[in-house]
């Protein structure tokens, strides 16, 4: 009798949720929330506007933070936003998309571009990387290499301790699919963007780069190997930028 009543109560609860347009969450299911993030539903409690679920956030397959309680309505909104975006991408022909210069054939990950590291450590390639780096340029590996180079070259003016010029040799360059910089709501801290430096709804391109930086001074040339993550996007002024999105791993080569 108790089991039968429990099953009946579950059915009625699910029907009530569906009738109100609220898909019931089930423990163990994973939903995408945007920006390369997803959550695993651990358990839920409450009903209607007071329903909340304990969730575990993931960035890809990696755990992100510790489990916490989220408002179920906000989770459903985030899930629906991702589904709507995917539907738009499917329904809109690639040549008609207006996504801030996203190339229609941009792969999930670009093939790595290996360079003999011992050669890069012995030789320096100075000069600006080729390619269009204007505000109207389309997103590409060449564009983002130029923007990473610009981060170093802006300080190469030969004054005091600054180098005369710099050069970059890319050992590995991995460009992943972009994600939208959505706003999330955290009951504890309020609204926040996935990337605070980028505008809301900007397309952010994650980059993982390993490169050798050559810094030429009047009396010597120094070389260092740098591995770091970058977030490339158009800023509020419509300019392409690539900001560091982690702590660089740097090894001095000489």
Tell me which of 73 and 54 has the higher pLDDT: 54
Alpha carbons within 13 A on the beta-carbon side of 22: 20
Decide which of 129 and 65 is more confident.
Answer: 129
Structure tokens, 140: 């590409």
Other C-beta atoms lying within 10 Å of the C-beta of residue 30: 11
Structure tokens at 194: 């996935």
Looking at residue 122, its pLDDT comes to 57
pLDDT in tens, 212-231: 999 999 889 999 999 999 99
Reduced to 3 states (helix: H, G, I; strand: E, B; else coil), residue 172 is strand
Question: Does residue 2 or residue 74 have the better pLDDT?
Answer: 74
Q: Comparing 45 with 60, which gets the higher pLDDT?
A: 45
**pLDDT tens digit string along 184-196?**
877 777 777 888 8
In the predicted structure, residue 166 carries a pLDDT above the cut 70: yes
pLDDT at 24 over 50: yes
Whole-number Å distance between alpha carbons of 41 and 28: 5
Is the pTM higher than 0.75? no
Local confidence band at 159 (pLDDT 50, 70, 90 cut-offs): confident
Residue 130, pLDDT score: 86
* Biggest CA pair distance of the chain: 89
Looking at residue 164, the DSSP 8-state letter turns out to be S
Q: Is the pLDDT of residue 5 over 50?
A: no
Task: Name the residue among 8, 44, 38 with its Cα closest to residue 26.
Answer: 44
Domain positions in the chain are 2-91, 117-252
Residues of the chain with pLDDT > 70: what percent? 76
Q: Does the pLDDT value for residue 107 go beyond 50?
A: no
Percent of the chain with pLDDT over 90: 36
């Amino acid at each position: 009798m108790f089991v039968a009543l429990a099953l009946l109560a579950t059915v009625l609860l699910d029907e009530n949720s569906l009738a109100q347009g609220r898909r019931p969450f089930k423990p163990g299911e994973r939903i995408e929330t945007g920006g390369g993030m997803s959550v695993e539903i651990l358990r839920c409690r409450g009903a209607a506007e007071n329903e909340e679920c304990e969730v575990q956030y993931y960035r890809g397959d990696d755990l992100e933070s510790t489990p916490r309680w989220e408002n179920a309505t906000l989770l459903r909104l985030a899930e629906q936003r991702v589904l709507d975006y995917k539907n738009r991408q499917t329904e809109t022909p690639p040549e008609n998309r207006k996504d801030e210069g996203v190339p229609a054939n941009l792969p999930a990950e670009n093939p790595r571009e290996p360079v003999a590291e011992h050669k890069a450590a012995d030789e320096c390639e100075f000069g600006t990387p080729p390619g269009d780096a204007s505000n109207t340029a389309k997103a590409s590996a060449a564009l983002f290499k130029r923007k990473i180079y610009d981060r170093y070259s802006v300080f190469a003016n030969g004054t005091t301790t600054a180098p005369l010029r710099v050069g970059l040799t890319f050992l590995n360059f991995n460009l992943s699919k972009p994600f939208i910089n959505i706003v999330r709501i955290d009951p504890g801290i309020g609204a926040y963007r996935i990337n605070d430096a980028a505008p809301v709804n900007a397309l952010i391109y994650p980059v993982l780069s390993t490169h050798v930086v050559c810094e030429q001074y009047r009396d010597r040339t120094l070389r260092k190997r740098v591995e770091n993550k970058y977030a490339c996007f158009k800023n509020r002024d419509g300019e392409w930028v690539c900001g560091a999105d982690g702590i660089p791993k740097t090894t001095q080569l000489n």
